[in-house]
Each structure stands twice: as C-alpha cells, then as structure tokens.
C-alpha cells in the first residue's frame, strides 16, 4: 500500500488522475490539494471535491491552495478544459472543501508521516509545493518521491514554443521545486505526448453504467478534441506499474525569469552533466501506451 497526496488543478486529465488513484486499492489517498492552474483555485477545488465524492472517496480531504503563481500578479489559466474545468459535465452537488491552506497541510502531512513514506504527485503548477518548501525548508525531501507532470525537455512546449503549461504557469515555483533536492521523477511532454487517448478507449467509458464511467465518458468527449493526451494520469500510473515507463537521470533547470522563454527547461543528460550539474531528477522518456490505457480504464471501471 502506497500513501499518496495529489496536488492538482482539475482539469480533465487531472480528473482522470484522481479517478485512477481512487480506483486503485494499492494506493491510499491521504489528501488532495488544489492550485490555480487550468482554472482559478476556487473552481479546481470544487472539481476535486466533486470528483472524489463521485468516486466514493468523500473521506479524502481536499485542501485549497495558491490562488496565483509566485512570479505573476494573476493566475495564468487556460480554457482547454472548458470554463468549469471539466468540459461542462455535471459532477453533482459541491460539498465544501476542508479547512486549511494546501501548502500548510502539505507541510503538516509530510511532517506527520515517517520520512520517505509519502508519494507526492503534482500535476498542476507547482505553487503549493514551492510555498510548502518556503514555509518549511527541506520538507519536500521528506517525500518518498515527487512525481511531477510538467516541462518539455527535448520537444517544443504546448503553450509557447519554449514551455509546457504547468511550468509556464509558475516557472518560479517549478525551479524552486526542482532545486529542492527532493527525489524527483518528471513526466514531461516528452513522455505524455505518447500517452494518446484512442477513440476506441474513450468510447469504452460509454459502456460503463456507473456515475464515474458516465462522467469520464462525457469529460473525455469534450477534452479529446482539444488535447488527446493523458498527461496527468502518467505519474499515478507509474506508482501502480513502473514498468510502463522508461526514464533517464538528468539535471534540470527552469528558466524562471519573465519573458518569452519563461518555463523553458534546460535539461542535461549523460555527458552534459558535469561536476557542477549532478542529476536532480529522473525524467521519463517513453511509455507503453496500450498498457497505460488499459490500466486507467480497468481502475475507473471499478468505481461507483
Ligand atoms: C498539463 O497542463 C494542463 O492543461 C494539464 O492538466 C496538464 O497538467 C499539460 O501540459
Ligand atoms: Ca493538470
């Protein structure tokens, strides 16, 4: 049994990551924290709460976090996931989220569990993680791993030519987290661009006569036309079956200064790492996509 916390900005692929975790008995979800990203934090928080309730995980707390990134005055949202972040799909009544700021709760949760026992999955802008590290320097190193979806290493970005959305949305936080010394596994666009949702796989959710199956089918129909990639489910899937992925150690640095290349990752692999640039992450480079899709579909198939 692995203890995990998911920091997210649902977001339809975030929703799939949450449902995958909820439908996987090998994972015990300690908490979900939310951040401004795809949509403002009030929206991503309500979405996380609704999704967990729909999945029968009403006892998993949701803590709302940062309303804006560290380096910009406003959140840098996008409309890929629709105005409500879930493609206009009705996820049911919204219960209130739990008391307490996500960054504070992350510090408390990591401190309350034995060192290196909690897997921290981050699939939105990294603002909450950077705030937690500012509040309690060294706290991210207590996680067993940080599994981060973000960045574009050897491929172009998906928001600007230089940057992937999560790193573009808060490049200062991304650099702080990568420089934290935590045991980081990165799932950049390099690998998630191979996590392609096939039309038959999307259609297969229509066969599920369950609330989660119907919600997944409807969200995916809305999302796939704009972004057919299952980005955020990848780090959760790695925890369930790491043989799905291939990775490479590397040294990563984020261009955090405002400007055209903000959020760009300078990645050094192999011989490019020298005395001054030791590996600070394992970056995933390939995925067995058919097996990934099967894993996600099977887990969601077990939900109510
Ligand atoms: C990332 O950006 C968001 O739109 C997705 O939820 C994912 O976390 C992909 O670049
Ligand atoms: Ca996300």
3-state secondary structure 223-280: HHCCCCECCCHHHHHHHHCHHHEEEEEEEEEECCCCCCCCCCEEEEEHHHCCCCCCCC
pLDDT digits (tens, 9 = 90+) for 147-204: 999 999 999 999 999 999 999 999 999 999 999 999 999 999 999 999 999 999 999 9
CA distances from 179 to 74, 109, 130 (A): 24, 21, 10
Task: From 187, 196, 231, give the residue whose CB has the most ligand 1 atoms within 8 Å, as the site to mutate.
Answer: 231
By the 10 Å C-beta count (0-12 exposed, 13-18 middle, 19+ buried), 259 is classed as exposed
Residues of the chain scoring pLDDT < 50: none
Counting Cα atoms < 13 Å in the Cβ hemisphere of 266 gives: 11
| Cα(271) to centroid(ligand 1), Å | 30
Domain limits at 262? 2-300
- Residues having CB closer than 6 A to ligand 1 are 11, 13-14, 38, 80, 123-124, 149, 158, 164-166, 231-232
Query: Which of ligand 1's atoms lies nearest the C-alpha of 124?
Result: 8
ipTM attached to this prediction: 0.99
d(CA 27, CA 116): 15
| Cα(118) to centroid(ligand 1), Å | 23
Q: Kindly report the CATH number assigned to the domain that includes residue 209.
A: 3.90.245.10
d(CA 149, CA 135): 23
Catalytic site positions: 231
pLDDT digits (tens, 9 = 90+) for 206-233: 899 999 999 999 999 888 888 889 999 9
Query: Which of ligand 1's atoms lies nearest the C-alpha of 10?
Result: 6
Residues with CB under 5 A from ligand 2 (ion): 9, 11, 14, 123-124, 232
What does the pLDDT read at residue 256?
97
d(CA 46, CA 62): 9
Domain count for the chain? 1
């Amino acid at each position: 049994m692995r203890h995990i916390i998911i920091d997210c900005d649902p977001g339809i692929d975030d929703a799939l990551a949450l449902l995958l975790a909820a439908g996987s008995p090998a994972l015990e979800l300690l908490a979900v924290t939310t951040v401004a990203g795809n949509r403002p934090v009030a929206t991503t928080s309500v979405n996380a709460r609704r999704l967990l309730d729909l999945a029968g995980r009403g006892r998993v707390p949701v803590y709302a976090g940062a309303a804006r990134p560290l380096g910009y005055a406003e959140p840098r949202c996008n409309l890929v996931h629709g105005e409500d972040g879930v493609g206009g799909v009705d996820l049911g009544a919204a219960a209130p989220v739990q008391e307490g700021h996500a960054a504070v709760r992350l510090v408390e949760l990591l401190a309350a569990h034995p060192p290196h026992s909690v897997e921290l999955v981050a699939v939105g802008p990294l603002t909450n993680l950077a705030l937690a590290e500012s509040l309690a320097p060294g706290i991210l190193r207590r996680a067993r791993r940080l599994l981060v979806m973000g960045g574009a290493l050897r491929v172009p970005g998906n928001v600007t030519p230089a940057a992937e959305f999560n790193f573009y949305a808060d490049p200062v936080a991304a650099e702080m987290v990568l420089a934290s010394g935590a045991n980081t596994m990165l799932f950049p666009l390099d690998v998630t661009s191979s996590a392609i949702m096939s039309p038959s796989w999307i259609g297969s959710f229509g066969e599920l006569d369950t609330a989660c199956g119907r919600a997944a089918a409807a969200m995916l129909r809305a999302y796939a036309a704009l972004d057919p990639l299952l980005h955020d489910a990848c780090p959760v899937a790695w925890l369930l079956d790491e043989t799905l992925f291939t990775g490479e150690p590397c040294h990563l640095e984020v261009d955090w200064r405002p400007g055209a290349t903000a959020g760009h990752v300078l990645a050094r692999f192999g011989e490019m790492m020298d005395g001054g640039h030791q590996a600070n992450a394992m970056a995933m480079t390939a995925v067995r996509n058919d097996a990934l899709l099967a894993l996600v579909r099977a887990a969601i198939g077990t939900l109510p």
